[in-house]
Amino acid sequence: MTGTAAIGDGGTAPGRPGGPLPELRHTDGRVELDPAAGALPANGFTNDDLRPVPVARRTWTTYNFLALWVGMAHNIPSWTLASGLVALGMDWKQAVLTIALANLIVLAPMLLTGHAGTQYGIPFPVFARAAFGLRGANLPALVRAAVACAWFGIQTWIGGEGIFLLAGKLLGESWRTAAELGGYPWTQWLSFLLFWLIEMAVIARGMETLRRFENWAAPFVIVGALALLAWITVKAGGFGPLLDQPSRLGWDADFWKVFFPALMGMIGFWSTLSLNIPDFTRFGGSQRAQIRGQALGLPTTMTLFALLSVLVTSGSQAVYGEPIWDPIALAAKMESPVGILFALLTVLIATLSVNIAANVVSPAYDLANLVPRLIDFRTGALVTGVVGIAIFPWRLISDPHVYIFTWLGVVGGLLGTVAGVLVADYWLVRRTRLQLSELYRPGGAYWYTAGWNWRAVAALIVGGVLAVGGSYGGPFPADGLIPALKPLADYGWAVGVGSSLALYTVLTPASRWARR
C-alpha cells in the first residue's frame, strides 16, 4: 500500500509549529500519522494507550471480530435474556424474535462508529473528541465507563457464582452451607474474589493477549453450550413442554405494551459496545474485516444463543419438572465430576471472555483519557475492577423487571444519546474526515471553547432528558420522573439516538468548526 500526506480540517498547514502533523492515507482508506514527522507531542491528552495504532499493527481479521462477538455473546446474561422475556409473559418465539430484532438494530450504530476505529486507529474516547472537544469527550467517556463498571460487577458476580455452585458439587455440602456474611456464604464471597483476581491477571497482559484468548475461547464456549444441550436432550428424551407453552400476552395490545420497552432493553444490552467498538476496530486490518466480522458475529450469535437457551431450558422442565433458566444451576445438577469440571471451565471462560472484552477494555481507555499522564490502560482496568465491586452488582439482576426495564432501559436511553451525537458528527457533519493529530492537540481544530463543544453537550443533555426523563416503575415514580415524558420512556434508546442526532445536526452547520 502507498500513502500520501493529507491536510485535514484543522486549517493549519503541516509542518508549522503547533499545527497538525502530516498523515498517510492508504489505498484502502485507512489513515495514519506519517512516521517521518515524528511522534505526537507529549501533553495532557495523550499516552501510549491513546495514540493512534499504526497501520502495520492493524491486523485483526474477519475471524478475529467474529470470534470476539461469539466470545462476548456467549455468556450467562445473554443466556438468561430469553428467560427474562418469558418471565414477562412472552412465549419462546416472541422472546427470540425480540432479541433477534434488537441485535439487528443495534448493529447499525455499531458499524457506523466502528468505522472510525479502523479508519484512524483511535479508541472511543479519542474519537469522541471530534464531537465533544478534547476535554468534553470525558463526559460521554465517563458515562460509558460508569455503565461498563456496573456490567463488570454483574458479570464478575455471575462468574463467582459459577465457581461457588459448581465447586460445591465437588467439595461437598459444607462449601455451600458455610457461615453467611452479608447475606451470602463466605465461600461465595471467596469465589467472587477469586474470579475477580483471574480477570485482573488476564487483562494485565494487554490487548494482544485478549485477541488470542478470544480466538480460542469462542469455539470452546460453543462446544460447551452444545454439550449442555446434548446432555439435557439425552436426559429428557427430547424437547417439548416449554416450546408448547403459549404466550400469556398473545399478539394483541398486551404484547405490544411489553414488546417495545423489552426491545429497547435488549438494545440497551449491547448499546455500550455500540459506542466503544472503536476500542477494538482500531486494530482492524480493513473496513471489510470489521464489518463482516461484526455482521456475522453479533445478530446471528445472539439469536442462536437465545434459541439454544430456550431448548436447554425446555429439556430441564421435562427432566426436573420446572424450567431452569440459569445454566450454572442446571450444570450443578450433573452427577459426573468430569462433567461438572467441564461445565465450570466453560462458565469461567464464557464469563471471562465477555467481561474483559466488553467491560474492562472500554473503561480502561475512558479513565486513561481522563488523566493520561497518571492513568494508563492497566491502571484504568484496576480502577474498573474496584468500582465494579462497589456498585453491589448482585442487586441489579435480582428482578427481571428491574433488570430489563430499569437497568437496561435507562442505560440504553443514555448511551443512545451519545451514539446519536457521534454518528451525526462523524457521518453527517464531517463525512468521515478527521484530522488525526488534531485530536490530541489543545488549541487545535477540536478544541472548541476551552476544550468543550457546547453543541454536543446540549444535544446530549436534551436527548438524555427526552430518553429517560419519563422513566417509571422500580425506583422511579409510577407517573415517571417527568410525567409529560412518560410516553417516551418505553422507546428510550430510539428517542435518545434520534433526538440527539437531529439536534446536533441542526446546531452544528452554523458553527465555524463545521465549515472548516
Mean pLDDT for each consecutive 10-residue tract of the chain (516 residues)?
A: 41 48 90 84 83 93 89 77 77 88 93 96 95 94 82 83 81 84 86 86 67 70 82 79 73 86 82 87 95 92 86 81 79 79 79 77 78 77 79 63 62 88 95 94 93 96 94 80 90 92 88 44
Helix (H) or strand (E) holding 279: helix 278-281
pLDDT at 208: 62
Task: Give the three cell numbers for residue 222.
Answer: 460453543
What does the CA dihedral 368, 369, 370, 376 come to, rounded to 10 degrees? 20
Distance of CA 488 to the CA centre of its chain: 24
H/E segment holding residue 32: strand 31-33
CA distance 127 to 274: 13
Q: What pLDDT sits at residue 126?
A: 95
Rounded to a whole number of angstroms, the distance between the first and last alpha carbons of the chain is 29
- The pLDDT value recorded for residue 421 is 97
Q: Are 348 and 270 in contact (CB under 8 A)?
A: no
Cα four-point dihedral sign 115, 118, 124, 128: negative
Q: What is the pLDDT of residue 511?
A: 47
Q: Looking at residue 425, what is its pLDDT? A: 96
User: Is the pTM higher than 0.75?
Assistant: yes
* Cell numbers linked to 2: 502507498
User: So what's the pLDDT on residue 8?
Assistant: 40
Sign of the four-CA dihedral 22, 27, 29, 32: negative
